[in-house]
Amino acid sequence: MEALGRQILVEYYDCDQSKINDVSFVETALIQAAKASQATLISHNFHKFSPYGVSGVVVIAESHIAIHTWPEYNYAAVDIFTCGETIDPWVIQECLKENFVSQNVSSMEMKRGMFKVPEGQKLLFKPSSEYQSN
């Protein structure tokens, strides 16, 4: 069995409240983490809630990084989903831990898109040009 992707669900506890409530800081932190992992940036969109909290997503060619923060609890929830084997999602997780000054992190990795592939063949992360949908 081979997987199309890896998804890491991360919970950052005891973060710096001012950092995870600053939409510009959170946006920059996610973009920097994506770049540190050598991911290919496609787009990004972030929103600041009132009175506090930030949600956002960075779309990468390899999938996405999404975040929701609860500054009132010094907590951030992050979803790091990558496909292929060109980037390491754990690099993203570690960069965000440092940027948010998180004192406690809980992470869980899941394999996504599990397929049985004939021996000697590899699972294609992007269909070949001959691919046609039915």
**Least confident window among 53-57, 92-96, 113-117:** 113-117
* Residue 68 is among the residues annotated as catalytic for this protein: yes
| 7-30 residue pLDDT tens | 999 999 999 999 999 999 999 999
Within a domain: 126: no
**Least confident window among 9-13, 48-52, 128-132:** 128-132
**Could you say which of 37, 63, 64, 95 is catalytic?**
63
Residue 115 has pLDDT above 80, yes or no: yes
CATH of residue 12: 3.60.90.10
* Residue 64 is among the residues annotated as catalytic for this protein: no
Within a domain: 127: no
pLDDT of residue 127: 56
Other beta carbons within 10 Å of 14: 14
Within a domain: 10: yes
Residue of 81, 75, 56, 72 whose CA lies nearest to 12: 75
Residue of 104, 103, 96 whose CA lies nearest to 79: 96
Within a domain: 52: yes
Q: Would you give the end-to-end CA distance of the chain in angstroms? A: 24
**Could you say which of 15, 37, 64, 83 is catalytic?**
83
Structure tokens at 123: 């699972």
110 is in which domain, residue-wise?
2-114
**b/e sequence 18-39, b meaning 16+ C-beta within 10 Å:** ebbbbbebbbebbbebbeebeb
| 57-111 residue pLDDT tens | 999 999 999 999 999 999 999 999 999 888 999 999 999 999 999 999 999 999 9
Number of folded domains that form the chain: 1
Query: ∠29-31-35 over CA atoms, to 5°?
Result: 115
* Residue 55 is among the residues annotated as catalytic for this protein: no
Structure tokens at 80: 């790091």
Within a domain: 32: yes
**Least confident window among 1-10, 70-79, 119-128:** 119-128
- At residue 96, φ and ψ (nearest 5 deg) are -70, -40
Within a domain: 84: yes
**Could you say which of 44, 55, 68, 107 is catalytic?**
68
